């Protein structure tokens, strides 16, 4: 799968926006501590004349080092704001914060002062980061639904060598691990698809999903309509017109943050799929 294509597809169909990238406040507390550390380190490399640290070098060297380490934390937010999506934002920003963390440590040390003269300020910053982080973690945890009913319903429709189209395929792949009829290579997602029809024409985007369903390519299709609504609507419309597919069940997928359902369609027995996937 082409990562650029995948990223663009996610951006085009995501419900999220660049503003949503900015509302996760916990990482920004660490970032601003790193900014303070960068300024403080550039201004004065040591808080104590007897500190044993690596050679500080010139002020220009310290400025550049601080900018590189701290600026790295901005790469993921800037790119995802450009794409207008916050998909996997907290996972991606962690890489940048890893490099910014040393400067954040310098910033906290300077806030507390020489020999811990102002520890209450450092504790306040740490406490704020902890509070915001716990709040964000609670939200993320609560946004994942209980997929037991969906996986159970989906598992009854498995066939050897079948192809499955699932909005979030990682869920059945994980829970059905070890099932020879549910291997990872059998699954496709609603994020991106490159499909070659029986005439040899290669299609991508929404037209690829529509053509694949017209040619009965997938054994099972399951969508929720929450993560990729535009694609899901096109898929649902095409399935409704195809007499070779039957809607077998609708499974609840509600969480404390949204109400949702997984709709599962199955290809009728004896019908063969045509075409193939590219990539």
Better pLDDT: 267 or 252: 267
63-110 residue pLDDT tens: 999 999 999 988 888 887 777 766 677 677 778 888 998 998 888 888
Q: How many residues does the chain have?
A: 279
Q: Is the dihedral of CA 61, 67, 73, 74 positive or negative?
A: negative
Q: Is the pLDDT of residue 234 over 90?
A: yes
The half-sphere exposure of 248 on its side-chain side, counting CA atoms within 13 A, is 19
With beta carbons less than 8 A apart as the criterion, state whether 37 and 66 touch.
Answer: yes
Range of weakest confidence among 21-35, 161-175, 227-241, 253-267: 21-35
Q: Is the pLDDT of residue 18 over 60?
A: no
Q: What is the rounded CA–CA span in Å between residue 141 and residue 146?
A: 11
Q: Is the pLDDT of residue 162 over 90?
A: yes
Span 34-42, average pLDDT: 90
Whole-structure pTM value: 0.62
139-158 residue pLDDT tens: 777 667 778 899 999 999 99
Q: What is the rounded CA–CA span in Å between residue 139 and residue 137?
A: 5
Q: Is the pLDDT of residue 9 over 60?
A: no
Better pLDDT: 190 or 110: 190
Span 11-38, average pLDDT: 64
With beta carbons less than 8 A apart as the criterion, state whether 24 and 134 touch.
Answer: no
Instruction: Give SS3 for 9.
Output: helix
| Sequence-separated (6 or more) residues with CB below 8 Å from residue 130 | none
With beta carbons less than 8 A apart as the criterion, state whether 55 and 115 touch.
Answer: no
Q: Show the 3-state SS of 81-137.
A: HHHCCCCCHHHHHHHHHHHHHHHHHHHHHHHHCHHHCCHHHHHHHHHHHHHHHHHHH
pLDDT band at 267 (very low <50, low <70, confident <90, very high): very high
Better pLDDT: 22 or 200: 200
Q: What angle do CA 61, 64, 67 make, to 5 degrees?
A: 150
Q: Is the dihedral of CA 111, 113, 116, 118 positive or negative?
A: negative
In the chain, % helix, strand, coil (3-state, to 5) comes to: 55, 10, 35
Q: Residue 64, Cβ neighbours under 10 Å: how many?
A: 13
């Amino acid at each position: 799968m082409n990562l650029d294509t995948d990223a663009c597809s996610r951006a085009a169909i995501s419900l999220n926006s660049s503003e949503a990238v900015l509302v996760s406040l916990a990482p920004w507390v660490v970032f601003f501590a790193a900014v303070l550390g960068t300024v403080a380190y550039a201004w004065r490399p040591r808080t104590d004349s007897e500190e044993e640290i690596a050679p500080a070098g010139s002020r220009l060297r310290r400025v550049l080092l601080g900018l590189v380490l701290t600026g790295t934390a901005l790469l993921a937010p800037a790119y995802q704001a450009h794409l207008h999506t916050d998909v996997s934002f907290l996972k991606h920003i962690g890489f940048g914060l890893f490099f910014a963390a040393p400067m954040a440590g310098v910033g906290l040390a300077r806030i507390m002062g020489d020999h811990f003269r102002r520890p209450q300020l450092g504790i306040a910053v740490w406490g704020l980061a902890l509070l915001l982080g716990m709040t964000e973690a609670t939200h993320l945890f609560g946004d994942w639904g209980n997929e037991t009913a969906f996986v159970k319903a989906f598992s009854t429709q498995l066939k050897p060598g079948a192809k499955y189209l699932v909005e979030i395929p990682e869920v059945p792949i994980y829970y059905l691990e070890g099932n020879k009829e549910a291997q990872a290579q059998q699954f496709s997602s609603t994020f991106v698809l490159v499909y070659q029809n029986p005439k040899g024409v290669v299609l991508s985007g929404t037209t690829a999903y529509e053509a694949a369903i017209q040619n009965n390519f997938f054994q099972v299709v399951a969508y929720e309509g929450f993560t990729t609504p535009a694609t899901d609507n096109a898929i649902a419309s095409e399935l409704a017109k195809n007499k070779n597919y039957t809607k077998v069940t609708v499974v609840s997928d509600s969480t404390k943050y949204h109400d949702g359902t997984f709709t599962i369609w199955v290809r009728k027995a004896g019908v063969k799929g045509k075409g193939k996937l590219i990539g």
